[in-house]
A and B are shown apart, each in its own frame.
Chain A
Amino acid sequence: GESVGLHLPTLSVQEGDNSIINCAYSNSASDYFIWYKQESGKGPQFIIDIRSNMDKRQGQRVTVLLNKTVKHLSLQIAATQPGDSAVYFCAENIYGNNRLAFGKGNQVVVIP
């Protein structure tokens, strides 16, 4: 498939290790944040979301952390698996706005 990850920052992770992917957002008025995973040749897939009234939210093997003070969002993946190899990108939304603003993404490569 096409390489949506072309020229993206790349994180290489050993299988079984934890991964941390970072995202800096631009608008201090943003109050809703989403992490997506995109595998080669596929559409973006929802992973986890968080609203601005929370600092942390956990899912299955994933945790999202939100630091509103420095406008920073991170996605932690526990015990990274080969199937986690993909491009990950964050999106932000402002209340009242139907649109999401997307980051360009980070490529994660899991080394077996």
Chain B
Amino acid sequence: NAGVTQTPKFQVLKTGQSMTLQCAQDMNHNSMYWYRQDPGMGLRLIYYSASEGTTDKGEVPNGYNVSRLNKREFSLRLESAAPSQTSVYFCASSDLDRGHRQETQYFGPGTRLLVL
């Protein structure tokens, strides 16, 4: 099992450019998440998808859109990149146990994005 994979690993954009960050998981998890991580800020939730076909906003959704393409894949799109979106982006996935209790989230290796 590869777990959670993310592409690309690194990206440099100019202000106003668009791009899509890709995420896939092979653990058959229902829930998937996108976070950004900035120094001293911890992990902040951008969007999440509790199950295939649903998406919800997190703490910092502005400037981003998401697509839950199928159960495996969850993409994050920046339509018009801004320098404030320079960050490290992590995708994660998780599931519920038989008692519908949250289980741990497993993270991908991250995408390092620089917006000039």
Contact = CB atoms under 8 A, between A and B. Distances in A.
Nearest to B41: A104
A39 B107 CA distance: 13
Interface of A: prevailing SS: loop
Interface in A90-112: 91, 93, 95-100, 102-105
Interface in A19-46: 31-32, 34, 36, 42-46
B108 A32 contact: no
A89 interface: yes
Nearest to A48: B104
Given A2-B88, A42-B109, A43-B109, A98 B50 contact: yes
Interface string A65-97: 000000000000000000000000101010111
Contacts of B41: 104
Contacts of A93: 102
B112 interface: yes
Interface string B77-116: 0000000000010100010000011101111111010000
B109 A97 contact: no
Contacts of A7: 39-40
Nearest to A44: B107
B3 to A, nearest CB: 9
A103 B50 CA distance: 22
A8 interface: yes
B42 A102 contact: yes
Given A44-B107, A46-B104, A51-B101, A98 B43 contact: no
Interface of B: 4, 31, 33, 37, 39-43, 45, 48, 50, 58, 88, 90, 94, 100-102, 104-110, 112
* Leading 4 A-B pairs by shortest Cβ distance: A6-B39, A43-B107, A104-B42, A7-B40
